[in-house]
Structure 1
Amino acid sequence: MTLHQESNRYSISTGDHLLTVRNKKRMDMTAVKEIERFDQEEFYVKTSQGNLLIRGEELKIVHLDVDKGLLTLEGNVKLLQYDDEENGLSKGFLHKLFG
């Protein structure tokens, strides 16, 4: 990932995935392709770098720009887990139940 500075502004190259967590209470991310499912305790997000599982408490969407792939969440973030495989987290869950 390359950050470019232009007069006190930073731009991120298109397609690069950047995740910023502030005090475990606010999360900003880029290169979001799809939000597959979400509720107040769990978000499952597809990014350019794989599937991302976010768990916490009182999670909510603060900002979503589908065209630019930007997502901002607020809440108490407890867990971040990436999975490179398509549907890998679901497969792991089913494997634990029936495997």
Structure 2
Amino acid sequence: MQFQAENQTITIPSGDHLISLRNRKRMDLTSVKSIERFDQTEFYVRTSQGILHIKGEELKIVHLDVDKGLLTLEGIVRVMQYDEEQQADGARGLLHKLFG
């Protein structure tokens, strides 16, 4: 996979997860599997490395290509945090532990 960044092309090994954040206002992500939920203040993005929780202001999707696993967001990024898969799945994680 190739990733275009400010006058240069970066080749990323297939499946690698990469985050590029420019001036806390534009974020590019690779290895995106899905967007669980989002609004202008937070995004929950499922990546190859787990759920990425992004908080900020005026967040919006500029580009999304789920087939290639690419996502570009714009807005003011305040917080980025990875959550464990079980925590993000909530009840399913608990039920799986009890009956799984």
TM-score of the superposed pair, with normalisation by structure 2: 0.78
Partner of 2:22: 22
Offset at residue 74 of structure 1 (A): 0.1
5 Å-filtered alignment, 1:64-75, equals 64-75=64-75
In the other structure, the counterpart of 1:44 is: 44
How far residue 13 of structure 1 moved from its aligned partner, in angstroms, is: 0.6
SS at match of 1:45: strand
Instruction: String of CA shifts for 1:12-65, please: whole Å, max 9, x gaps.
Output: 011000001100000000000010000000000000011100000000000001
- 5+ long unaligned stretches in structure 2: 1-7, 91-100
In structure 2, the partner of 1:31 is 31
For 1:22, the aligned partner's letter is R
Aligned partner of 1:3 in structure 2 is none
Distance 2:67 2:58 in 1: 26
State the one-letter code of the partner of 2:69.
Answer: G
Q: What's the offset of the Cα at 1:89?
A: 4.4
Pair 1:57-2:61 in alignment = no
Query: Which ranges in structure 1 are unaligned for 5 or more consecutive residues?
Result: 1-7, 92-99
Cα offsets for 1:48-94 (capped at 9, x unmatched): 011100000000000001110000000000000012x2142465xxx
Structure 1 56/90 Cα, relative in aligned 2: closer, same or farther at 3 Å?
farther
* Structure 1: 4+ residue segments shifted above 2 A: none
Partner of 1:5: none
What is the aligned length? 83
